[in-house]
Chain A
Amino acid sequence: MSTIASSIFTPDTAARFDKLATIYPLKRSALIPMLLYAQDEIGFVSDAAVAEISQRLDLLELDVRNVLSYYSMLRTVPAGKYNVQVCTNISCMLRGGYELLDHCKNKLGIGHKGVTPDGLFSLEEVECIGACCWAPAVQVNYDFHDDLTPAKMDAVLADYAAGRGKDVK
């Protein structure tokens, strides 16, 4: 393993990455988890994160960017502290997913991939998140909210705004 003199990550994450690079038959397998965990910590995958991860896994930065650009959850610009992801795929659409998306747009005053000026919320229209039987469904960061209505959505947003929302990492 390449040793990292001074990691940009917190000691916990750095230790986790040290371990991740050793558990697989090929260490490159750690790439996608590392990118996602880096994003969880920084809020997006920064240039510095790309540099450190490529060093950790003995990859070219180009290799890392190539993979980074493929996966829809990975981003290279910051999102809001709470990224509100509204599913509008078929099962959700049939139960009001688009109305919910419109409601969030109006409520937050931002569009798809927009961020509120205070940086608290961002909004994304997403594809099926595997909660079709509890539609319409929304994920705020990694936390699922099921069977929503505009009123329930307001309560969810209010909880996050007040710092009461769950934040699974």
Chain B
Amino acid sequence: MATEHSRTAARLMVSPAVILLFLWMIVPLAMTVYFSFLRYNLLNPGMESWAGFSNYTYFLKQAAFWDALWNTLTLVVGVLIITVVGGIALALLLDQPFFGQGIVRVMVIAPFFVMPTVSALVWKNMFMNPVNGMFAHIAKFFGLQPFDFLSHAPLASIIVIVAWSWLPFATLILLTALQSLDREQMEAAEMDGANWINRFIYLTLPHLTRSITVVILIQTIFLLSVFAEILVTTNGGPGTASTNLPYLVYAQSLLNFDVGGGSAGGIIAVILANIVAIFLMRMIGKNLEA
């Protein structure tokens, strides 16, 4: 696409798709912004009136907002730490030649294909249930009191559930990166007297930074909007102990029927997500440059 002519043609050709995508994004966003300035409750349909910024001030002033904000960040950071550290460890293991490598690799990827609702239900009922769950059985076997994970450590439990489903993604990306690590570099380092810890710190980890960055950026986008796992396990509780921003918006608009307040919450969540994105790109985005 070198000539002026071909560039113009190219612009013309892609414009329908670009316009469609733009509308796709802008219409719901504009409507949400519009609703967020209305007093709009589903219990009183047809009574909408201009509310100014009151929805925003109300949303920001409730105690639940700060809890939700804190929970959202804890969830994101917690899952990121587990998946990145666990992903590196698993990738290092899977990179070793061993019998049945192919099957084990497929099995490691499997959790990624399980729907969030399903995986959360499995964890809730089969592992973490204080009466019938496997952890309860294990605890009883050792003569310990079963721990009710979802009531006493709800956020930590959700972090574990979400991390479990994202670990394969991180592992896979990091494994591909590991496999592209030059074998001769490793051998050179070995001859230079570097033990495996030094080889990991000075060769493997720098080689992986770009992939780790990709994992962090992609996962952050999805982890900011974790919802299904919370809905089917704790419903955001007890209290607000496991309520994150998406769940708070849901509770506001569909449990309290307050569309205006929910929309304001949604816009606030969008703004916060963008702040996080900008912050992340500033911090680690340079790793993506060549």
A and B are partners in one complex rather than unrelated chains: no
> Could you list which residues of chain A lie within 8 angstroms of chain B, going by C-beta atoms?
none
